[in-house]
Amino acid sequence: MKKTLVALAALATVGAAFAQSTVTLYGKIDWEVVSKRATTAAGVNSNAGLQVNSAGLSGSRWGMKGTEDLGGGMSAIFDLQAGIDGTTGQTAQCGGINVTSVNACIAAGAATAATGATGVSAPRLFGRQAFAGLKGGFGQVTVGRQYAPYDNAFGQVDGQGYTSNSAMGSVWAAGGHADAGGPGRVDNQITYFTPAMGGFNAQLSYAPGEDAAPGISAGRYFGIGLGYGNGPLNIQFATESMKSRGVANALATALGTPGAVTGVGTGGLGTSDAWIIGASYDLKVAKPYFAYGRASNAVNTKDKGWSLGATAPLGPVTLSGGYARETSTLTGAVASSNSRGFGGQAVYNLSKRTNVYGEFMALRTTAAGAAASGKSSQYGVGMRHDF
């Protein structure tokens, strides 16, 4: 009888231990049918025709995340998130070098200006995020591939939620702002999130480049994010500085001297800096957004952009729209290039986990000193399912 009671107690203990640990499988599948048109500044038209793309509202993905109760209010956490193309099943992110990474795979023998790497860039299994850490009353400390503070702030102050037809995301990227700042995800990142303190919170991130060479120091990433969310008001600020050979290769290519920095782990280091500030205010009937950002590197010494946006819920439908401008001035240049555009979307919720949507985006870019502008537009309808 005693042995039976001891066995039952042991089983209960094991069951309690397992009950304190959870692992969740989750994901999103998003597809969109898109029509794209473009006209160059010289008047050359192109029509890519209908395309079936992944990631209309958000990138398709699947992942596993979990937590284990360690007692005393502290937990161990992890998140492994794989990006996928929801229309082909292919990996959405590939391996890069140093601090940041490219999202597109590099074909054999080809090179990318973002890193200067030549050859095949292997697909990442968990290219969106891969980290583990501790969480408690002190806040949260995580180590691994994670979103940068700049990227986290950007997503919260973009009225269109950083979607593929976001005016803010499309215009700032077209003008070069995204190249000068905002690497998105950062490898080898050590991040500390403070607990919420009266609505205030902060993110501190550092990542070593791990690419020191004879006579050349290693690269690094450093970022700070500050936020305030209380009631209807949300304010976000982030700043970052990145030094890597990837930046140096991009700058050499932009200057027309790609051979100056070549190969993986070779050449000098380039530095880019950026900051962004923005806010939103929920009026219930509508939620306006505003964002302003500046970035600099050895080529684009003066790079600034701003955006206005709003969302409005109408029953099961949510409407959103935005307008953005971006200006970039090359070192020593008098004239500036600029980009401007607007976008909009309507999302209809079929359930808590499934929605259908329609969206559009129109973009115009003018090169420094040019009289004519290039323009592009796209329209799409799609569906997103969360699981």
DSSP symbols for 333-355: -SS-EEEEEEEEEEEEESSSSEE
Q: For 105, which DSSP code?
A: P
pTM of the complete model: 0.84
Most confident stretch, 87-91, 214-218, 224-228 = 224-228
Residue-wise pLDDT for 33-70, tens only, equals 999 999 998 889 988 789 999 988 999 999 999 999 99
Query: Is pLDDT at 242 greater than 50 in this prediction?
Result: yes
Q: Which residues pair with 194 in a beta bridge?
A: none
**Is-contact 278 153, C-beta < 8 A?**
yes
Q: What is the mean pLDDT of the chain?
A: 83
Residue-wise pLDDT for 23-34, tens only, equals 999 999 999 999
Q: Sign of the C-alpha dihedral, residues 297, 299, 301, 303?
A: negative
**Is-contact 201 363, C-beta < 8 A?**
no
All structural domains of the chain: 37-290 (2.40.160.10)
